[in-house]
Structure 1
Amino acid sequence: MRVHSGRKSPGGKPHSRLQGLCHLPVRPHSARAVVAAVASACSGEPSDVPAPGVGVGAARGGLDLDPGWVLAERTRPGRADPLEIVAETAWWPATLATGPCTEAIQRLWRHSVAVALACRSLAREKGDRDPDQLVRAGLLHGIGRWAVAAVDPDWFARWLNENDRAVRRRLELADLGTDMADLGRRLAERWGCEPLIVDAAWLHDDSAGALASAAREPERLALIQEAVRWAESTPWSLNAAGRESLPTEPRLRILVAEVQSKCASMFATADASPHEERMTRENARLHLRLAALSRTNATQERIIHALADDLPHESTESWTARAGMIWCEEPEVNAARVVWRDPEWPEAEPATAEGDGLDVPSRPASWTIPLESRTGVVAEIQLWLDPDQTELRGRLERTRVIEAWRSWATRIADRDMLERRLQAVVRGSRQSAEDEEERTRSAKLDALAEFAAGAGHELNNPLAVIVGRAQLLLAKAADPATARSLRIILSQAQRTHRILRDLMFVARPPEPRPRACRPADVLRACLAEFEAEAESRGIRLTSEVEASDQPTWMDPDAFRHLADILIRNALQASVGGGKIQVRSSRQGQELRLSVADGGKGVSSSEGAHLFDPFFCGRQAGRGLGLGLPRAARMVALAGGSLTWSSAVGQGSAFNVQLPLQRPPDEPTSALI
């Protein structure tokens, strides 16, 4: 930007120099106040460098009276850092503090401040929704005049001292190429001012209201026009040489007093040298650089501490949540999350650390950082930034922070992959052991079936001959001792036949034959058969059978056989004076049967083989232990489950759960 710094106008008309004007200068007082405020906020240590804008609040009042400062704050992209404005904006020259241009600049300043203060008063009276915006529009309504004063203060002084408005207009058209109001509109639009400021720049003097319909907000523009009329009634009117006496209206007298209080100093500063301007701007640049380095150093320290706290056993989910929280400590970040892109983990929910008042899914991430490994992108960091924060990417891209995150994420991904592979190996080994156990069991049953089939074929005929001959001899035997021996032969032959039959059942059980029945009736009939035996052995047999009239589709013979096995097993495990408790209930579509005894219980070594054929915890000669294996096979065929619990010396309990089905619409048999 070219700003006039001498007493005489440079060659050429102001119009040509206005083309290169990109913003207004700032008052030296404003720049000094900002640098002093920032310096007072620093303790001298690099770690104590304040964040942008910290410490400037004390100078806020003076900054709001500087048109160049207000314009720079409102037209910069993103959030305006006061130090950046100081570093990048030229000063009003010291030559404007003395000489013929001084009075013109001073009057323009006080007139602008008077309009701004009048806008604040009117905004309060009318209850305007944004009084501060009205104040800014009032301060910058004469933006065209400020621009001309910046490039050619001598021309502006001549223009202001001309009382004839027609002469003023001819000067404007001849030297500016347009009138002052239109110039203000063009500059306001080019500099990206708020729409209200654009309208105020060229419609503030439309006293007749002929162009009111062109305004975006006519009601608010009317307030600015009223504020301009107030300012024109003060000693700093721009349409007359000046007023010698103060206004008599109370509110105008208050306005004049307030302007005099706020604008007691000179707008430009006589002691502001070009050298001081250069040094102050360089000082601001150094403060900005130091602040950026301090923030970058803090970022690097955060990831160093995070790496130091990383534990070898930390889960991927925990690391994801912690990484999001680390990124949220960046001053520019509102929310952050890490999303894994590993195809082997497609449903993993990313942990999210959200800032206050921000709904992360409501808008896309402001910046997405891919985290690549040797095999491709393993994850990405999604950051939600303040809309006015743009320096984070530039600040981090000058460091190796992103590379550190990529390396760290790769290590976490590799560790997670190794853990998943280890778990896969463990699951495969466990499954292989289970499959091998199932194959071994199946092979045992197949071998048992072959043995039972062969034994049945080879032994049934001899057994039939033995039984037949024994029965004939028993019918003819007159000697009691001979009859007793023949009965023993018959009993053992029949026992051998039952053993072969049980072996065939365990190896190749018959298919279930379901039909409509009532399980409660089947169980009561089974219990009735054991009452006499239990009484004779001194064992108390109790039952709790839940009655139900609703028929069930199941195999009653298999259910009775199952109950028979469990009750007989309990009788054989119990001693005189013991108790057997049988319970049956129906819960939803499930039948539950429980048989508990008070016997010696089952040890852990016996429990491992409880359902194995030929294993029996009782002494030799009291059975082959095929009852519980048969029960387990029947329950498995019915799609149920058989579990047990036991404590040594306190008895055992066997629990059966069988799925129930409703009978078909047309039962094939009568109820049993």
Structure 2
Amino acid sequence: MRFQTGRKPPGEPLIGRLNGLARLPVRPRTARVVMASLASVPADGDDEAAPGGIPRMLPDLDPGWLVAERAKGRGGVLRALADSPWWPASLAAGPAAEAVQKLWRHAVAASFACRTLAREHGDPDPAGLVRAGLLHGLGRWALAAVDPECLARWMAEPDRDARRRREAIELGGDLRDVGRRLAERWGCEPLVVDAAWLHGEDDADLIAAAREPARLALVREAVRWAESTPWALDAPEGREAMPTEPRLRILVAEVQSRCGTAFASDDASPHEERATRENARLRLQLVDLARENATQRRLIEAIADSEPDETPEGWSVRAGRAWCGEPEVNAARVVWRGPSTTEPDPGPGLPIEASPDADDAEAPRRGASWTIPLEAAGGVAGEVQLWLDADVDALRERLGPTRIVDAWKAWASHVADRALLERRLRAAVEGSREASRSERRRVQAAKLDALAEFAAGAGHELNNPLAVIVGRAQLLMAQAATPEAARSLAIILSQAQRTHRILRDLMFVARPSEPRPRLCRPADVLQACLAEFQAECAARGIRLTGEFEEAGQQLWTDPEGLRHVAEVLIRNAIQAGAGPAAGGGTIRVRADRQGRELRVRVADSGKGVGDAEAAHLFDPFFCGRQAGRGLGLGLSRAARFVERAGGSLTWDSTPGQGSVFQVKLPWNRPPEEPAAKSA
């Protein structure tokens, strides 16, 4: 609001002009000192960074500057300079100037007294108490700004009752109430608002209505000190002009030394005021342009540093750091809603958070000052949460024309859509692989079913002739007349029995029988298995060893199945090439218990498993040896037993250096054991 102090627009009531006052003018000397302190700051720099700061004592003696600082908002002291009018040079002399000068010294005396009382009573905010003392007469200052001649007439009245009557006639109200309304509208702190209308002697009964009664009592005491000085506004007639109390005499001397000059400057011209305020506005625009440039630079750098395969979580961390670079932002966080793939979650769920720094991993306790939604795939995929130390509307106003927020939203949408496509691609690839695995399992199951049907038919059709062959061969062997005939019959008997074992193995691989667990010692089962192979290994030059930890422990499992698995793995190690051709060779069998598992490890120093063999290692009828040396059912049988027992069979091999097969079986307790314990 632009106005000329001291001029009364025709036809406009005084109370209306008071209530519509935009702000108090500032002293020209204050504006000059502040502007000089900013001279060394670059035009596009931060005005709060002036070397050495602004000399505080002079602005602290200016009620208009204190009000402007409290409501400065965006722009710091530059905004206060640009928006605040000056007290005119017409107040440098005359009755109105004398009234303003007396009002000023009275306010300064109250503020100095507040400083002393704050020190004596240990007030937590001495500066706030000093401001309340200087601005306690805010209604009078408003009257001086709107109509200084009216203030002079008001101060010329002989007593308080006469002043109240003049206020009722000219204002239709009370100056203290005017001060309260203006303090509230100008955003003054609560203590200033209370001091503006509860500082009088007749307000003692209303002090309980204050938000800080104890501190307001100190302000009222400071006002009483000011009323004991030569600049008292309500002094009774006949009172001594100079107080005799020592601390009041010190107060008077301090006010005289700090307020020795005129409140207004007789050399301040409207041209200087306009030039200073326009200078502040231009500097403020440069500051805004510099901040806009820095904001855009942070966004460009963030985009330039992004990787093609950047995840939403990584983007969130960098976005949070970029937003924290804004001068108004104290903390920032990006929250993706729904799955980490950023696909919008139709239902409730926990947010996925990414903080800018490790120290910010915990979200601030208070709610975000500004939340920016991030849209993707037709819905809200997340949001940027900002915690500010400034007015949210001011930041929105600054960023609005730059479309920075729109750029961040578009980039977030791109990141979210890309992550969604990546997730869908992974799902499609995994689905294809799972379908392939399912097809292989289906084909394998079909093979085993066909094998089971063949084995069942072959067993039914061949077992009876084989039984006849075995029986007749045994009968003829008992009646053999020559050793040659006995050897021939033994071969017939051996091959018939081999045919029977082949049929049995086929039936086991295709349709294995249920395990028959019982309590046994795994070490005993494996020791017996090793004993059967010692002679064969010695003949082949193979060193067969066994290591068994906790040999006395018992396990609830199928001992025949465990023995069969060990036989298959040892036989496989013998036939894998460990022997004289390999320089002697070794086979090590180790069994131990780890947690709730029995682990059996068979390691050999043979030729290892090649790539061609690895793909079919557990397939039935696959054999890595030459034809006629076996059907390749051993590892298939072992794998089927381990699978039926709830364990796993794994292997590792290096061609030319040997292989390691490891069996893991669950270490189960007998079913009767829990019942026995409970009994």
TM-score past 0.5 threshold = yes
Aligned partner (choices 280, 283, 300) of residue 284 of structure 1: 280
Per the alignment, residue 659 of structure 1 pairs with: 666
Structure 2 CA distance for partners of 1:38 and 1:480, relative to 1, 3 Å: same
Counterpart AA for 1:30: T
Aligned partner (choices 597, 600, 619) of residue 590 of structure 1: 597
Counterpart AA for 1:259: V
Percent identity for Structure 1 against Structure 2 = 64
Per the alignment, residue 633 of structure 2 pairs with: 626
Counterpart AA for 2:85: A
CA-CA distance at 1:457 after TM superposition: 3.4
User: How far, CA to CA, are the matches of 2:198 and 2:251 in structure 1?
Assistant: 23
CA-CA distance at 1:7 after TM superposition: 8.3
CA-CA distance at 1:78 after TM superposition: 5.0
CA-CA distance at 1:185 after TM superposition: 4.5
Aligned partner (choices 363, 373, 394) of residue 366 of structure 2: 363
After TM superposition, list the pairs within 5 Å mapping 1:227-306 onto structure 2. 227-239=222-234, 247=243, 249-306=245-302
Counterpart AA for 1:71: V
Question: Which stretch of the first structure deviates more once superposed, 77-86 or 581-590?
Answer: 77-86
Counterpart AA for 1:436: E
Counterpart AA for 1:326: A
Q: Which runs of 5 or more structure 1 residues have no equivalent in the other structure?
A: none
Structure 2 CA distance for partners of 1:650 and 1:399, relative to 1, 3 Å: closer
Counterpart AA for 1:85: A
Three-state SS of the structure 1 residue aligned to 2:387 is strand
Per the alignment, residue 311 of structure 1 pairs with: 307
User: How far, CA to CA, are the matches of 2:358 and 2:492 in structure 1?
Assistant: 90
CA-CA distance at 1:657 after TM superposition: 0.4
User: How far, CA to CA, are the matches of 1:254 and 1:33 in structure 2?
Assistant: 27
Question: Which stretch of the first structure deviates more once superposed, 473-482 or 118-127?
Answer: 473-482
Aligned partner (choices 450, 453, 456) of residue 453 of structure 1: 456
Contact kept in structure 2, 1:94 and 1:273, CA below 8 Å: yes
User: How far, CA to CA, are the matches of 1:97 and 1:310 in structure 2?
Assistant: 63
Structure 2 CA distance for partners of 1:564 and 1:152, relative to 1, 3 Å: same
Counterpart AA for 2:300: I
Counterpart AA for 2:95: P
Three-state SS of the structure 2 residue aligned to 1:57 is coil
After TM superposition, list the pairs within 5 Å mapping 1:154-233 onto structure 2. 154-178=149-173, 180-181=175-176, 183-185=178-180, 187-189=182-184, 191-206=186-201, 213=208, 215-233=210-228
Structure 2 CA distance for partners of 1:4 and 1:307, relative to 1, 3 Å: closer
User: How far, CA to CA, are the matches of 2:175 and 2:619 in structure 1?
Assistant: 107
Contact kept in structure 2, 1:38 and 1:56, CA below 8 Å: no
1:524-567 CA deviation, whole Å, 9 max, x = no partner? 33334334444555544332233466643322221222222223
Per the alignment, residue 495 of structure 1 pairs with: 498
Contact kept in structure 2, 1:115 and 1:230, CA below 8 Å: yes
Structure 2 CA distance for partners of 1:501 and 1:7, relative to 1, 3 Å: closer
Per the alignment, residue 117 of structure 1 pairs with: 112
Query: TM-score normalised to the size of structure 1?
Result: 0.88
User: How far, CA to CA, are the matches of 1:602 and 1:355 in structure 2?
Assistant: 49
Three-state SS of the structure 2 residue aligned to 1:69 is helix
Three-state SS of the structure 2 residue aligned to 1:510 is coil
Q: Is residue 486 of structure 2 the alignment partner of residue 483 of structure 1? A: yes
Three-state SS of the structure 2 residue aligned to 1:390 is helix
Contact kept in structure 1, 2:2 and 2:85, CA below 8 Å: no
CA-CA distance at 1:115 after TM superposition: 1.3
Question: Which stretch of the first structure deviates more once superposed, 499-508 or 49-58?
Answer: 49-58
CA-CA distance at 1:514 after TM superposition: 2.4
Structure 2 CA distance for partners of 1:454 and 1:147, relative to 1, 3 Å: same
Structure 2 CA distance for partners of 1:11 and 1:392, relative to 1, 3 Å: closer
Three-state SS of the structure 2 residue aligned to 1:91 is coil
Per the alignment, residue 20 of structure 1 pairs with: 20
User: How far, CA to CA, are the matches of 2:8 and 2:220 in structure 1?
Assistant: 34
Structure 2 CA distance for partners of 1:619 and 1:81, relative to 1, 3 Å: same
Alignment: residue pair count: 663
After TM superposition, list the pairs within 5 Å mapping 1:144-159 onto structure 2. 144-159=139-154
After TM superposition, list the pairs within 5 Å mapping 1:206-605 onto structure 2. 206=201, 213=208, 215-239=210-234, 247=243, 249-341=245-337, 345=342, 349-353=352-356, 360-373=363-376, 375-535=378-538, 537-547=540-550, 551-573=554-576, 574-575=578-579, 577-605=584-612
Counterpart AA for 2:433: R
CA-CA distance at 1:609 after TM superposition: 2.7
User: How far, CA to CA, are the matches of 1:623 and 1:22 in structure 2?
Assistant: 104
CA-CA distance at 1:66 after TM superposition: 0.9
1:598-623 CA deviation, whole Å, 9 max, x = no partner? 33433333333322223333344432
Structure 2 CA distance for partners of 1:127 and 1:356, relative to 1, 3 Å: farther
CA-CA distance at 1:206 after TM superposition: 1.3
Three-state SS of the structure 2 residue aligned to 1:492 is helix
Contact kept in structure 2, 1:34 and 1:56, CA below 8 Å: no
Contact kept in structure 2, 1:2 and 1:151, CA below 8 Å: no
User: How far, CA to CA, are the matches of 1:210 and 1:226 in structure 2?
Assistant: 15
1:478-520 CA deviation, whole Å, 9 max, x = no partner? 1222222222222222222222222222222222222333333
User: How far, CA to CA, are the matches of 1:134 and 1:551 in structure 2?
Assistant: 84
CA-CA distance at 1:401 after TM superposition: 1.8
Per the alignment, residue 31 of structure 2 pairs with: 31
CA-CA distance at 1:110 after TM superposition: 1.3
Q: Which runs of 5 or more structure 2 residues have no equivalent in the other structure?
A: none
CA-CA distance at 1:213 after TM superposition: 4.8
CA-CA distance at 1:464 after TM superposition: 3.2
Structure 2 CA distance for partners of 1:339 and 1:217, relative to 1, 3 Å: closer
User: How far, CA to CA, are the matches of 2:422 and 2:275 in structure 1?
Assistant: 60
Question: Which stretch of the first structure deviates more once superposed, 369-378 or 121-130?
Answer: 369-378
User: How far, CA to CA, are the matches of 1:542 and 1:8 in structure 2?
Assistant: 115
Counterpart AA for 2:155: L
